Amino acid sequence: MRTIVALCGGVGGAKLALGLDRLPVDLRIIVNTGDDFLHYGLPICPDFDTLAYTLAGLANVEQGWGRAAETLAVQAELAGLGETTWFTLGDKDIALHLLRARLLAEGARLAPALDDIRRRLGIRCAIWPMSDHASPTLVDTEEGVLAFQEYFVGRRCTPVVRRVRYGAGVGCPEALAAMTSDRLDGVVICPSNPVLSIAPILAVPELHHALAGRRAPALAVSPLIAGRAVKGPTAKIFAELGLEVSALSVARYYEGLIDGFMLDEADASLAPAVQALGITPFVAATLMHTDEDRVALAECCVDALRALRS
Ligand code: GDP
């Protein structure tokens, strides 16, 4: 069985991760933990949680985050006690945060704690955090430096971004082992936000070094289609950072770290420009509405990695 490592953020990344998880591959996902924070003392890992809920079939797909069929009794009680909560805490979601809090309080590193949780949720593939240590992403905006969730949820990404600062903690040993394994057949960078979801992973020095010195090919899938993000602030942030808002710009962003780049069919005309960067272009339908779309794109990625290896 092929061993594949996928670098993943939240919603966009989780869609492709689900497709890859349905294939007969040995999948190891490295997830961004730059968004992690404490809320009411509970350790929250937004990208891991979105990924885990998606892979376990528990995600609220319409909403784009949290659990399906969620209830808000705890949040209503907090409101009754005069608390204003800017970060929605569903009851089922809180159960997961409580379990994680217990595992960490008993001394577990983050990686084994998340591994325990994903097993309890019946998830087949391995999921490792980029780091066991707090590596918070800070967003330097025209209104000052904001903690990630303050920017993303509290301010709904409205402040203009000038720079993003990454935590760059020590790499998680299991994530590093996956990246440097002799059995590795390829790396897929999922169509996550390059600046907010993938760059925090690549800012972990050991992981960056492992990808830069890779022996197996790496392929990134564009989160921008026809110059637009499917969802979220990727296009807005690219523009604010002075980057061209296009799939080609995403390929440039990963230059030196990827061998192949998956463009959407709508961007097929960019293939020669991607090739000119020394990156092999591939074209597929990358908009994932259904699980069939997710599996089909995952198959295209595995085929592309095979082509890059030969
Ligand atoms: P977040 O951490 O929850 O914001 O999620 P990610 O960083 O993983 O994903 C956000 C990115 O996913 C955005 O740039 C979207 O354009 C992209 N995205 C979402 N759905 C799709 C899709 O179906 N296809 C592609 N190609 N990109 C997608």
Q: pLDDT for 102-139, tens place per residue? A: 999 999 999 999 999 999 999 999 999 999 999 999 99
- Which DSSP letter does residue 196 get? I
- Give the pLDDT confidence score for residue 1 in this predicted structure: 85
Ligand 1: distance of its center to the CA of 157 in Å? 15
Residue of the nearest CA to atom 18 in ligand 1? 12
Q: pLDDT for 54-99, tens place per residue? A: 999 999 988 888 999 999 999 999 999 999 878 888 999 999 999 9
Instruction: Say yes or no: CB of residue 33 within 6 Å of ligand 1.
Output: no
Answer whether residue 146 shows pLDDT above 90. yes
- The number of the ligand 1 atom at minimal distance from the alpha carbon of 223 is 27
Percent of the chain exceeding pLDDT 90 equals 96
- Cβ atoms of 91 and 67 within 8 Å: the answer is no
Instruction: Say yes or no: CB of residue 167 within 6 Å of ligand 1.
Output: no
- Give the pLDDT confidence score for residue 81 in this predicted structure: 96
Burial class (CB in 10 A: 0-12, 13-18, 19+), 56: middle
- Give the pLDDT confidence score for residue 8 in this predicted structure: 98
Going by C-beta distance under 8 Å and a sequence separation of 6 or more, which residues neighbour residue 161?
139, 140, 141, 151, 237, 240, 241
Instruction: Say yes or no: CB of residue 171 within 6 Å of ligand 1.
Output: no
- Give the pLDDT confidence score for residue 302 in this predicted structure: 98
CA distance linking residue 263 with residue 300, whole number of Å: 11
- Give the pLDDT confidence score for residue 180 in this predicted structure: 97
Instruction: Say yes or no: CB of residue 231 within 6 Å of ligand 1.
Output: yes
Name the residue with tokens 């990686």. Answer: 111
Ligand 1: distance of its center to the CA of 11 in Å? 6
Q: Is 170 helix (H, G, I), strand (E, B) or coil?
A: coil
CA distance linking residue 303 with residue 219, whole number of Å: 11
- The number of the ligand 1 atom at minimal distance from the alpha carbon of 235 is 14
Mean pLDDT of 178-185: 96
- Give the pLDDT confidence score for residue 42 in this predicted structure: 96
- The number of the ligand 1 atom at minimal distance from the alpha carbon of 191 is 27
Answer whether residue 46 shows pLDDT above 90. yes
User: What confidence category does residue 159 fall into, taking pLDDT thresholds of 50, 70 and 90?
Assistant: very high
Instruction: Say yes or no: CB of residue 192 within 6 Å of ligand 1.
Output: yes
Instruction: Say yes or no: CB of residue 223 within 6 Å of ligand 1.
Output: yes
Mean pLDDT of the chain: 97
Which uninterrupted H or E stretch holds 30? strand 25-31
User: What confidence category does residue 289 fall into, taking pLDDT thresholds of 50, 70 and 90?
Assistant: very high
Q: pLDDT for 186-231, tens place per residue? A: 999 999 999 999 999 999 999 999 999 999 999 999 999 999 999 9
Instruction: Say yes or no: CB of residue 119 within 6 Å of ligand 1.
Output: no
